[in-house]
Amino acid sequence: MKISVAQINYHIGNFEGTLDKMLHAIQEAKDAGSDIVCFSELATVGYPARDFLEFDDFIKSAENTIARLCEASKDIAIVVGSPTRNPKPEGKDLFNSAYFLAEGEIKFVQHKTLLPTYDVFDEYRYFEPAKEWDIVTYKGKKIALTVCEDIWDVGTDNPLYNLNPMDKMMEFGPDFMINVSASPFTYDKAADRLKVIKANIDRYKVPMFYINHCGAQTELLFDGGSVVMAADGSFIEMPYFENCTQHFELEKILHGHFPSETQEKNKIKLIHDALVMGLKDYFGKLGFKKAILGLSGGIDSAVTAVLAVRALGAENVRVLLMPSQYSSDHSVDDAVSLATTLGIQYDIIAIKDMFESFMQKLDPLFDNLPFNVTEENLQARIRGMLNMAISNKFGNILLNTTNKSEMAVGYGTLYGDLCGGLSVLGDVYKTEVYELANFINKDEEVIPQNSITKPPSAELRPNQKDSDSLPDYDILDKILYLYVEKRTDPSDIIAAGFDEKLVRRVLKMVNINEFKRHQTAPVLRVSPKAFGMGRRMPIVAKYLN
């Protein structure tokens, strides 16, 4: 028996486009002589479809896709994830299911048992968990079908559920497992994924075919990395961030003892590739082509510009250089140098006169109060207005360049440097932005070295530096990581060696700036805990304030 694994970039609700991709992969599998071709979780609708799942017409379209896949299954079996209606009056209306199609009909359906409802997942909102388990037999082989989370409660120190569906299926003596997944990317997910699959292999002693999504769905990124693992732990890991269909001889997998094939797991490379994919798919799936951003000469906008060019092409990226009277000459020079290296359109619009015009109108109202953050924010909002003017006039989508450190502590201006259609670096700490810049420059200097080495500054007042308002990023990012990603208690962060006064100041900044984060663009998610859909904090609260 030969089994094909189709790792595909789906587009939520694009039923015809999805079906075309599937039929192409099915033909590839047929040409390779495969007996089964496997697609991923909820492949017919895309993941996460969210409240589209509440529309009857949406579910009918998924059912129509299954019907058309049945037609394609006359000489090859198809495993595919899709929603299924719950025929019983009690419980949720839908199941999250794995279909086994063969000989032109639906041969078997196994519903998902474990429904994640944490971080970015909200499956119990829509789906009823399985309460019955069985396996399917095809061409003399017994196959256990599971859906994503159904394998993730094995080998963990803190089980979230009180049963494992494979424990039930093992009673029927399966020859191998197929797991259809939609497991979002984080920079540590690939390594965790292999550990989880290996834990299942160790527990059940049968091979697994694990099929994952590839591509971006707004802020959620999927890296692919589908895996075929033998009972002895030998495995083949498919490429990251790539649409591809690969074919496997079942006898080889059942026998095991073959050299494992793994992918590189360098954290910064993974983040780089994920962000490029996220940008490309956000624009492509929404029908956008061109981007714009403010290029300041600093490291955040420089890295964002490079990622945009790699995702969209130089011809589709435009930047505005908007120096004020507080901008240094080298900032403009660094920005021009980068734009020239990248081959992108740039325009220089000095904002001094605009700022002074605003101040002339506002001075009578400001009542001789001293210069403060108000005047700084005014400059940021002028820049935001100019970026949005180009966006509106020419259709360039504005990219937000704020990093996670700044977003965490509110070091940004609403309707100014925080505006944009997509936040590219909002899940990348400042120290990681430096690592990204050095990764980009690993073969040749793309980002001017001065943008990397000079002290970071918003340049909104004379001789301003980020360190005037914030702790050193090396310290700040460690505190933020413990609080945001690890959910570490303040007392434990202090016990880890950080100054108590500093810790309480940083955590207060994080909490009181929740209102800003609720008004910012979607953030491309690369870490285990990103701002956005996976981190749900109240805006109005007293804790640590």
Question: Residue 66 pLDDT more than 80?
Answer: yes
- Spell out the domain ranges in the chain: 2-259, 270-467
pLDDT digits (tens, 9 = 90+) for 321-367: 999 988 877 889 999 999 999 999 999 999 999 999 999 999 999 99
pLDDT, residue 325, reads 87
270-467: CATH homologous superfamily? HUPs (3.40.50.620)
The one catalytic residue among 21, 38, 41, 459: 41
Question: Residue 250 pLDDT more than 90?
Answer: yes
pLDDT, residue 157, reads 74
Phi, psi of 534 (to 5 degrees): -95, -5
Is residue 38 annotated as a catalytic residue, yes or no?
Answer: no
Question: Residue 124 pLDDT more than 80?
Answer: yes
pLDDT digits (tens, 9 = 90+) for 257-273: 999 999 999 999 999 99
Span 379-388, average pLDDT: 96
Question: Residue 458 pLDDT more than 80?
Answer: no
Long-range contacts of 505-510 (CB under 8 A, 24+ apart): 506/409, 506/471, 506/476, 506/479, 506/480, 507/479, 507/483, 507/544, 508/544, 508/545, 509/408, 509/409, 509/410, 510/408, 510/409, 510/480, 510/483, 510/484
pLDDT digits (tens, 9 = 90+) for 69-89: 999 999 999 999 999 999 999
Nearest to 521 by CA among 304, 289, 222, 320: 304
pLDDT, the chain, mean = 96
pTM of the model: 0.96
- Alpha carbon distances (Å) from 170 to 142, 208, 214: 10, 13, 30
Is residue 88 annotated as a catalytic residue, yes or no?
Answer: no
User: Do the beta carbons of residue 37 and residue 25 sit within 8 Å?
Assistant: yes
Question: Residue 459 pLDDT more than 90?
Answer: no
> How far is Cα 191 from Cα 337, in angstroms, rounded to an integer?
38
pLDDT, residue 432, reads 98
Question: Residue 427 pLDDT more than 90?
Answer: yes
pLDDT digits (tens, 9 = 90+) for 278-290: 999 999 999 999 9
pLDDT, residue 461, reads 76
Question: Residue 464 pLDDT more than 90?
Answer: no
Question: Residue 223 pLDDT more than 90?
Answer: yes
Architecture of domain 2-259: 4-Layer Sandwich (3.60)
The domains spanning 2-259 and 270-467 adopt the same CATH topology: no
Span 98-118, average pLDDT: 97
**Lateral strand order in the sheet of 422-423:** 345-348, 317-321, 291-294, 397-400, 422-423
- Percent of the chain with pLDDT strictly greater than 90: 93
Contacts of 51 (CB under 8 A, 6+ apart): none
User: Do the beta carbons of residue 4 and residue 28 sit within 8 Å?
Assistant: yes
Is residue 148 annotated as a catalytic residue, yes or no?
Answer: yes
> How far is Cα 499 from Cα 118, in angstroms, rounded to an integer?
32
533 — pLDDT class (breaks 50, 70, 90): very high
The one catalytic residue among 38, 70, 123, 148: 148
Span 287-309, average pLDDT: 97
Q: Which two tokens stand for residue 117?
A: 């409802």
Question: Residue 214 pLDDT more than 90?
Answer: yes
Nearest to 302 by CA among 321, 274, 283: 321
Sign of CA dihedral 95, 98, 102, 108: negative
Question: Residue 482 pLDDT more than 80?
Answer: yes
> How far is Cα 340 from Cα 213, in angstroms, rounded to an integer?
37
- Percent of the chain with pLDDT strictly greater than 70: 100
Q: Is the peptide bond before 456 cis (omega within 30 degrees of 0)?
A: no
User: Do the beta carbons of residue 253 and residue 207 sit within 8 Å?
Assistant: yes
pLDDT digits (tens, 9 = 90+) for 21-57: 999 999 999 999 999 999 999 999 999 999 999 999 9
The one catalytic residue among 21, 112, 285, 290: 112
**DSSP 8-class letter at 457:** -
Half-sphere exposure (CA, 13 Å, Cβ side) for 142? 10
Question: Residue 545 pLDDT more than 90?
Answer: no
> How far is Cα 50 from Cα 363, in angstroms, rounded to an integer?
49
